[in-house]
Amino acid sequence: MAKYVIKKSNKLVPSDAMKKIAHVKNKNIYKQAAKNPIKFWEKLATEGLDWEKKWTKAYEQKLPYFKWFKGGKINFSKNCLDRHLENKSDKVAITWVPEPTKEKTIKLTYKELHEKVCKFANVLKKHKIKKGDVVSIYLPMIPEAIIAMLACTRIGAIHSVVFSAFSADALKARIQDGKAKILITADGYYRRGEKEDLLTKARRAVKSTTVNKVIIVPRLRKKIPTGRKFLNFNKELESAEPNCEPTIVNSEDTMFILYTSGTTGKPKGVVHDTGGYATQAYWTAKWNFNLHDDDVMWCTADVGWVTGHTYAFYGPLLNGATTLIYEGSPDFPNPGRWWKIIQDNKVTVFYTAPTAIRMFQKFDPKYIKKHNLKSLRILGSVGEPIDEDAWKWYFKTIGGSRCPIIDTWWQTETGGTLINALPGIGPFVPKVSGQPFPGTNLIIVDEKGKQIKKKNVVGNLVQVPPLAPGMLHGVWKNPKKYKDTYWSRFKKYYDTSDGAFLTNGGLIRITGRTDDVMKVAGHRMTTAELENAITDHQAINETAVVPIPHEVKGEVPVAFVILKHKIKDQEKFEKEIKKLTDDKIGPTARPAKIYIVEALPKTRSGKIMRRILKALLIDEEPKGLSTLLNPKSVDAIKKIIKTKK
């Protein structure tokens, strides 16, 4: 494929070679879709998916609620598997690369995956799981994760995947909220050459919950407990029937819940339906990454996150492509690991997060040069803004200046991507995501909800109904939260809680969250979640957490704590705090620094001014001190920060 040349404008247009193979290349598609977005999505849903019964109404809305493909009947697993069996049964559906280099890569064809999914669906049925039941999945990046998830969708059960690096407490909270009947987990997995234990956390989490069966994948071949409650995944699979008729569900039936951080301390279960989600997953995967039959797509996201759901698993499988998943750490046993995987498996589409890109930028380039990355055609970025330096490095060093970068903006709530350039249309501009996917409408508004059409003026990014088909339908068992979080500021629009502006070229550039959500190495968490965890320490009275910029991770949390009483050993104290965030959330939530302070800057109404703390941390002059209840606290904190640097 020909090379692109970055001009002064920084604006790249698709190469002729890309245009030739692109599914969409005419920019009129945006205008056409905008004329009647409902009709547009109706056409896509008809062409992209196999339906058991056509819908009676394509879109119905009574904001904040809406339905896509009402009356339509579908089975999701059938769309990912059965329909490919006629022509692609021997095609590789999943390539799994285990972390230990001594272990072999495992490939599962569509036929093999189909059989395993059917078997595991029968296992679930045997354990009395039926349509609408919640199944919790706490698995690392191993094929059993997709087998378990697809098995749920085969019988209409709702999966709730929990990130494997989350703590027992975090898992428990999610199990309890979803009232899951079964937990599917593993004895552990490999990370950086170490055996990570999952089972101990899982066992602790299921205590006194609704879970009555725990099915364990013996990934580490440890001796796993078996009995009435604990079962061996492989043994269960072995004895199961290979045929399982798919349960046909309504398009609007819930397919999965995925917990994510909101403004408060308690994570919320984002609810996704079946038909709408499938439509967006199928078409965004196809068009953004220009998926063709010979593609091998590698999305490096963990299945614990929405990107793992939609682009490591479902998007490529719905399209009948091959998806590659990797169990372990990006730089194990050396920083060449990812590039070797691309070379050995001829990966064509590579989709990762800026935090990983920035990490690799720091390693010796020899680890990349050693490998042949010529199979790559398209590169993707997701999860946080990508800076120009990282963009250019990714483009040149990984993509060899041959691959467009598709900077996809979206959220757990949106189910699939919403803003990005399409490979056959472009343009590809560093830092700029692009325009809303055809048939969707996102605009920038001021605090009153009035559209900002002027270029370079930052406002709030909102989605204008009709909403994209992949959008969340609610917060699990919490309609108030749904309304308050997404529909209270701008009644007529879905509130993304992101800031954005229009570039001179009329494209959308994301500036970041406008609420208390931070992105630490791409992981979404809130200041409140961390504050709650830390304040549990018996010596702490009050905590304020603020994110500060970090060269590799994008952001890291810093904690300010007020003590109840003096502590003797500062080092021990800090360790205890880190253990608390590890236990309550997971190691990604560890504060990078902890400052003990006498008072926190507060407004007269008692609100902690995190903005001021942040300014102090990044050496900026804090503004708005006059409204503070205790302006003197600012100078004191300034001194503490200086002495601890």
Site track for ligand PRX across 107-146, x = CB under 6 A: ----------------------------------------
Distances (CA, A) of 508 to 35, 409, 422, 432, 494: 21, 10, 14, 6, 17
Torsion of CA 446, 449, 454, 459, to 10 degrees: 40
Cα 474 to Cα 270: distance, rounded to the nearest angstrom: 6
Which of the ranges 2-10, 125-133, 248-256, 409-417 carries the binding residues for ligand PRX, by CB under 6 A? Answer: 409-417
Beta-carbon count within 10 A of 488 CB:
12
Q: How many residues bind ligand PRX (CB under 6 A)?
A: 22
The residue (of 123 and 145) whose beta carbon lies closer to ligand PRX is 145
CB of 270 to ligand PRX, least distance (A): 8
Residue 243 main-chain phi, psi, to 5 deg: -105, 135
CB of 27 to ligand PRX, least distance (A): 21
CB of 507 to ligand PRX, least distance (A): 12
The residue (of 420 and 581) whose beta carbon lies closer to ligand PRX is 420
CB of 252 to ligand PRX, least distance (A): 22
CB of 526 to ligand PRX, least distance (A): 11
The residue (of 211 and 525) whose beta carbon lies closer to ligand PRX is 525
Q: In this structure, what token pair is assigned to residue 292?
A: 């063709």
Q: Per CB under 6 A, which of residues 253..312 are in contact with ligand PRX? A: 260, 306-307
Site track for ligand PRX across 305-344, x = CB under 6 A: -xx-------------------------------------
Cβ neighbors of 388 (< 8 A, separation 6 or more) are: 10, 430, 431
Q: Is 196 a residue that touches ligand PRX (CB under 6 A)?
A: no
Sort strands 378-382 and 268-273 into parallel, antiparallel or unpaired. Answer: unpaired
Cα 253 to Cα 272: distance, rounded to the nearest angstrom: 8
Q: In this structure, what token pair is assigned to residue 5?
A: 């040349």
CB of 412 to ligand PRX, least distance (A): 3
The residue (of 213 and 519) whose beta carbon lies closer to ligand PRX is 519
SS3 per residue for 105-121: CEEEEHHHHHHHHHHHH
CB of 162 to ligand PRX, least distance (A): 14
Residue of 181, 266, 164, 207 lying closest to 476 (CA atoms): 266
Site track for ligand PRX across 356-385, x = CB under 6 A: -------------------------xxxxx
Cα 186 to Cα 196: distance, rounded to the nearest angstrom: 10
Q: Per CB under 6 A, which of residues 410..439 are in contact with ligand PRX? A: 410-412, 433
- E-state strands within 405-533: 405-408, 419-420, 435-436, 442-445, 459-463, 474-475, 494-502, 508-513, 517-520, 523-526
The residue (of 152 and 461) whose beta carbon lies closer to ligand PRX is 461
Cβ 543 vs Cβ 534: under 8 Å:
yes
CB of 424 to ligand PRX, least distance (A): 20
Q: Per CB under 6 A, which of residues 497..516 are in contact with ligand PRX? A: 498, 510, 512-513
CB of 284 to ligand PRX, least distance (A): 11
The residue (of 327 and 384) whose beta carbon lies closer to ligand PRX is 384
The residue (of 112 and 484) whose beta carbon lies closer to ligand PRX is 484
Cα 378 to Cα 17: distance, rounded to the nearest angstrom: 12
Which residue is associated with the tokens 């969707």? 440
Q: Is 407 a residue that touches ligand PRX (CB under 6 A)?
A: yes
Q: Is 147 a residue that touches ligand PRX (CB under 6 A)?
A: no
Interacting residue with ligand PRX among 268, 524, 553, 584 (CB under 6 A): 524
Cα 383 to Cα 250: distance, rounded to the nearest angstrom: 31
The residue (of 209 and 433) whose beta carbon lies closer to ligand PRX is 433
The residue (of 42 and 498) whose beta carbon lies closer to ligand PRX is 498
Site track for ligand PRX across 204-243, x = CB under 6 A: ----------------------------------------
Q: Is 409 a residue that touches ligand PRX (CB under 6 A)?
A: yes
CB of 513 to ligand PRX, least distance (A): 5
Name the helix (H) or strand (E) containing 249.
strand 249-250
The residue (of 141 and 151) whose beta carbon lies closer to ligand PRX is 141
Cα 249 to Cα 71: distance, rounded to the nearest angstrom: 10
Q: In this structure, what token pair is assigned to residue 407?
A: 């900077």
Cβ 239 vs Cβ 443: under 8 Å:
no
CB of 547 to ligand PRX, least distance (A): 12
Cα 243 to Cα 103: distance, rounded to the nearest angstrom: 30
Cβ neighbors of 62 (< 8 A, separation 6 or more) are: none
Residues that bind ligand PRX (CB under 6 A): 260, 306-307, 381-385, 407-412, 433, 496, 498, 510, 512-513, 519, 524
